[in-house]
Structure 1
């Protein structure tokens, strides 16, 4: 019995020591925070410190209830200005900032900013930047209108009541060769080159790929031809392998059938002898 009491006393002592250590640790953490951050200099708020007498606690609770009732009547009165709890907290925070001289860490960031407001401002800024770039393009390209591009005296329509036609690489190479030949013309070469460069720049700005280099087109055609040849070889090998596997399976099946027939014949022969 005495041993059990000693064990219980030791366990209770260790628990009490742990509680004291945790309490000391919490107190030290609280002491690291400046008192002005979580304590107010207002005398009315000083009443909520620990160590108040029972009568003082009752009076403070009664005063709090009365203040809540007054605030409710004031809030429901249409003739008086309505201040929400958030407004009161903002006013209090502004007073504390003026008192302690607290300055914002980031310029351009207001206290009442939210994520949505910041996101909206960023989107508007990006839109203004895009609009400024579009204005520059519109000043440079005045003849560019929706649906068609007008260059000089010729009108070339893009996407106006016509479907997008896919041109083969051979046709692209033929057109590129003709264009190179026209550029080398001593009379009209400069005019053709300027006109084509202008059209190509507008098409690239609209997101259209321009393939007018004969050398690159030849390389692409050669690569595509090699790729097709490799794919044809792979397909041929695959067909041959499948055919070989099919023949082997058929041969194995016929061998198994013949073996089973021989076994049945031998068993029948032994049966007749017996």
Structure 2
């Protein structure tokens, strides 16, 4: 007797569950696909032509007109595709347009600066002179300036103190100096404008220099002393070897 083949049929419950899972997956990913579609620029899938010419190969055209219209459409699609990835035509790139809009906003914001007070105008001119072009560029491009000596800084501090004592221009000079010092400190550079501290610093520097000179002299003297001792030891050793060589020759002759 032939054995009957058992046919295993999938229960209806599992099939229904699989269908439900598939639907839920499609529904869950629909938002993701919608977002992806939003990234495609509208001009790549919408025509700028009139509605009448949107489908020029509709029923009723001759074969030649239909073929010409299709060929033109193909050429337009290919050209649009090439323009999209062509860096020379960067005006077609959304990122470039976004950057341009940001730059335009910056230019507008700079041009819309209103100056009401004369002191503010003077301060802005001071900032412009410091950075060369504008404050933003100055903060980005930190120009390396030559470091002044303490003596020159002391002279400058003394001149500043004398200018501050002037009854007419003292207040203006003090304000300008405060602004300039604040800008330089904001850039992380120290401002030396206190004559008393500068004098102390110069005095300490002289003392330090004197100590360093003394140490250098001691080092040079010790080097010369060691050099002399080595030369003396070498001369003694050479003399000993010569004497020993002579004594060996005398002993051989005997």
Q: TM-score, normalised by structure 2?
A: 0.48
- Of the two structures, which has the highest relative contact order with CA contacts closer than 8 Å and spacing of 6 or more? 2
Q: TM-score, normalised by structure 1?
A: 0.45
